[in-house]
Structure 1
Amino acid sequence: MRTSVLPPYAAHLRVYEPLAAYPEPERARWQAYAAAHGPDAAEAGRPVAVAALEEQRAALAELVGRTPRALPERESERAFVRSVDGVLYVCPWATRLRTWQALDELRAAAPVALLDTALPPATRAAAEADRERWRAEHPDARPWIVTSRWEVPVRWFLPFGEEDRCFVPAGGPGATGDQEPAGGAAEPGGAAGRPGAASAGGAGLDRGEKGEQAALFYLTPMAQARRRVARAYRALREAVPEGDLVRGAELVGRWLEEFHPRSLVELDYGGLVHLLGPEQLLADRSAGELEDGLRALRAGEAAEALRVYEELTVRWRRVLALRYAN
């Protein structure tokens, strides 16, 4: 199914496990899948934006039907595949599992009348019964992908450093602005780098002449991600034991522990690139700013750490507030 609809304004935190981490026959299936489809990103500095858009199209196709369905009938057999230094890494879409989780979020947030109209009680009850049966058969199941709409939660930056950042402008490498890895000229926290400074209407600049979407993502080895989160958690627990970021670090750390130690961890701005606009994407240095704040905290500079954290939080709250824009 082809559609011109933009991907949703959502960011994604993904784990790619090495092919060897999957037990048989799952490993053979993913190996065949990778051989047939090829990697979605053949090197660390390339995004999986095209495959992510295809995932959204597939999800949209599942919603088109005469009778409402709460979730896909079968689990997706597709995945994001990265190849780094000759090693294949696989991140299963697990669409059905993630749909169950999204249904929980919808049930908690939507008014009952709206929920009953979109998904009648009988449909939701059938989905819940189906999930309980599936849980009994897959007690250790966990999603390789978590999604946040309209913002990147600040805690998601904890596993990453400035050197993990990769910005690919619209049109791909070679387009105006060219691929800009970490350490570029844009200053963190500058006026152009304030997420939310762009209007949602600025999305017309997201595609270059080649038709490739802009992408901003971070990619790091699991071992490095775990070290960063653990170090941040220790510093935060000592300084602000009841703070939101302490709980966030604990949640992220526990989730990362579920996966193979040689995995890759990716934070993908996803559809948020259409919301922020190219100048904001180029200048955004959120992970680096959080690093600076944590460095100040470990040095005993609590006031500076608080200033950095508050500025970062306020900027992303401005982005989140755009969901209410007309």
Structure 2
Amino acid sequence: MQDVTVVRTSVQPPYAAHLRVYEPLAAYPEPERGHWQAYAAEHGPDAGAAERPVAAAVLEEQREALAELAARTPRALPERESGRAYLRVVDGVLYVCPWATRLRSWQALDELRAGAPVALLDTALPPAARAAAEADRERWRAEHPDARPWILTSRWEVPVRWFLPFGDEDRCFVPAGPEAGQEPVREAGRGSGQDGEQAGAAALFYLVPMAQARRRVARAYRALREEVPDGELVQGAEQVGRWLEEFHPRSLVELDYGGLVHLLGPERLSADRSAGELEEGLRALRAGDTAEALRVYGELTVRWRRVLALRHAN
């Protein structure tokens, strides 16, 4: 590899998983299409093949967010929308997943408001700052009524419903270490030329065409609605299905374990077959074996709740 720069960093992405949609460049109207085309020409893809992770770009986004916090008094959300995106090239087609940082910041603020103690919330973001952010969001919504995030984030767990669009054959596990096939470096000239991927970091992700993702979710929803209409997963399937319908039919859907790879460790990552297990449970449900389906779902849910419980570990 020519013109390679290796930069090590102590920054790790947070313990969060991401569900992303990459739309083909042709799906974006002008002037967005021109912007992303120029961006891709300057920066190059984050993953040049379906089996490659975008872990280095995720780390870059985290560094940028931390730099924003260090540079000024923390704000409820960025002043301007990000012009950055995750880029994938699959079979010669460029796919774009915009960061949409402001939109995701509003969503994160809602989650913080719902889950954080009032005293902590007021200390981190005073009521006046939150009110200003909410007013800003209402103005923005009026100008962008059809806006939706390309990225959903879950902290400390992968929600079971997120596995519905995928099968075990869509799983891509990149073990730690360059000998396993992961590129431990980033090419000089990409972005600022100073951000490098942590050498040998593991990655676990699923990637599937949108048509297949929608088909799987729709089949799961029908089976769940018929057999366990009051189950939690029925609502989850409906939520995921409606979100996927917002995007171009030739998009790609990706479930990325993100920073959870550092929490789970190599052995658990290598053994994890969550999407395949859920798929087996749904097959049992369609075959009329409700007891087996509930057993599989129960085991899968308990396993991820144990991971979620680690957020309270000292």
SS of 2:165 mapped into structure 1: coil
- In the alignment, the residues of structure 2 paired with residue 258 and residue 13 of structure 1 have an alpha-carbon distance, to the nearest angstrom, of 14
User: How many angstroms does 1:62 deviate by?
Assistant: 1.8
Match of 1:71 in 2: 77
Deviates more, 1:120-129 or 1:92-101: 120-129
1:298 is aligned, of 286, 291, 294, to 286
Percent identical pairs in the alignment equals: 86
Counterpart of 2:29 in structure 1 is 23
The correspondence for 1:216, drawn from 187, 199, 204, is: 204
- AA aligned opposite 2:27: A
Letter in 1 for 2:10: S
The size of the alignment, in residue pairs, is: 293
Q: In the aligned structure 1, how far is the partner of 2:71 from the partner of 2:123?
A: 15
Partner amino acid, structure 2, of 1:122: A
Which amino acid is the alignment partner of residue 26 of structure 2?
A: A
C-alpha separation in 2, matches of 1:95 and 1:66: 17
Give the corresponding residue for 1:41: 47
User: What one-letter code is carried by the residue in structure 1 that aligns with 2:84?
Assistant: R
**Are 2:295 and 1:307 equivalent residues in the alignment?**
yes
2:226 aligns with 238
1:190 equivalent in structure 2? none
For residue 122 of structure 1, the aligned residue among 128, 133, 143 is 128
Aligned match of 1:259: 247
1:126-275 superposed matches below 5 A: 126-172=132-178, 174-175=179-180, 211-275=199-263
> Stretches of 4+ moved more than 3 A in 1?
none
SS in 2 for 1:116: helix
The aligned counterpart of 1:110 is 116
Which residue does the alignment assign to 2:194? none
The aligned residue for residue 278 of structure 1 is 266
- Give, in angstroms, the shift of residue 68 of structure 1: 2.9
Report SS of the residue matched to 2:83: coil
The alpha-carbon deviation at position 65 of structure 1 amounts to 4.0
Task: Pick the aligned partner of 1:289 from 257, 277, 288.
Answer: 277
Q: Does the CA contact (< 8 Å) of 1:41 and 1:83 recur in 2?
A: yes
**Contact 1:3-1:57 at 8 Å conserved across structures:** no
Whole-Å separation in 2 of the counterparts to 1:85 and 1:65: 40
In structure 2, C-alpha distance between the alignment counterparts of 1:275 and 1:246, rounded to whole Å: 29
Q: Partners in 2 of 1:58 and 1:6 — Cα distance?
A: 12
Q: Which runs of 5+ in 1 are unaligned?
A: 180-209
Secondary structure of 1:261 counterpart: coil
User: Does the residue aligned with 2:229 lie in a helix, a strand or coil?
Assistant: coil
The letter of the residue matching 1:159 is P
- Tell me, yes or no, if the aligned pair for 1:68 and 1:123 is still in contact at 8 Å: no
Q: Secondary structure at the match of 1:64?
A: helix
- 1:280 partner letter: R
Deviation at 1:4, TM superposition (A): 1.5
Q: CA deviation at 1:212?
A: 2.8
In 2, distance between residues paired with 1:46 and 1:39? 11
**What does residue 19 of structure 2 align with?**
13
TM-score (norm 2): 0.91
The alpha-carbon deviation at position 110 of structure 1 amounts to: 0.9
Structure-2 separation of matches of 1:62 and 1:228:
39
Could you report, residue by residue, the CA deviation over 1:167-205 in whole angstroms, capped at 9, with x for unpaired residues? 001124x33xx67xxxxxxxxxxxxxxxxxxxxxxxxxx
Paired residue secondary structure (1:23)? coil
Classify 1:73/1:7 alpha carbon distance in 2 versus 1 (closer, same or farther; 3 Å): same
What SS does structure 2 have at the residue aligned with 1:27? helix
1:274 aligned counterpart, secondary structure: helix
3-state DSSP class of the match of 2:211? helix
Q: Retained in 2: the 8 A contact 1:71–1:100?
A: yes
| Distance in structure 1 (CA, Å) of the matches to 2:259 and 2:278 | 22
Contact map agreement 2:87 2:96 (CA 8 A) in 1: yes
Amino acid at match of 1:241: P
TM-score between both structures, scaled by the size of structure 1: 0.88
Tell me how far apart the structure 1 counterparts of residues 160 and 287 of structure 2 sit (CA, whole Å).
21
- Which range moves more in the overlay, 67-76 or 24-33? 67-76
User: Does the residue aligned with 2:46 lie in a helix, a strand or coil?
Assistant: coil
What is the aligned partner in structure 2 of residue 50 from structure 1? 56
